[in-house]
Amino acid sequence: MDRRRYLAAAGTAVAAGLGGCLGLTRGDNTEFDVGMRPTSFDPPTITVAVGEELVWENTGTRDHTVTAYEESLPDGAAYFASGGYESEATAREAWSNGAGGALSNGEQFSYTFEIPGEYEYFCIPHESGGMVGTVIVEDRTPTATPEE
Give contact residues for Cu ion (rule: CB under 5 A): 64, 123, 126, 131
Distances (CA, A) of 115 to 10, 22, 91, 103, 147: 21, 20, 21, 25, 18
Closer residue to Cu ion, CB minimum distance, 21 or 102 = 102
% helix / strand / coil in the chain, to the nearest 5? 20, 30, 50
Cα(22)–Cα(146) distance, rounded to whole angstroms? 5
Query: Minimum distance from CB of 25 to Cu ion (Å)?
Result: 22
Q: Are 50 and 107 in contact (CB under 8 A)?
A: no
Closer residue to Cu ion, CB minimum distance, 11 or 98 = 98
Closer residue to Cu ion, CB minimum distance, 54 or 131 = 131
Closer residue to Cu ion, CB minimum distance, 21 or 131 = 131
Cα(140)–Cα(83) distance, rounded to whole angstroms? 28
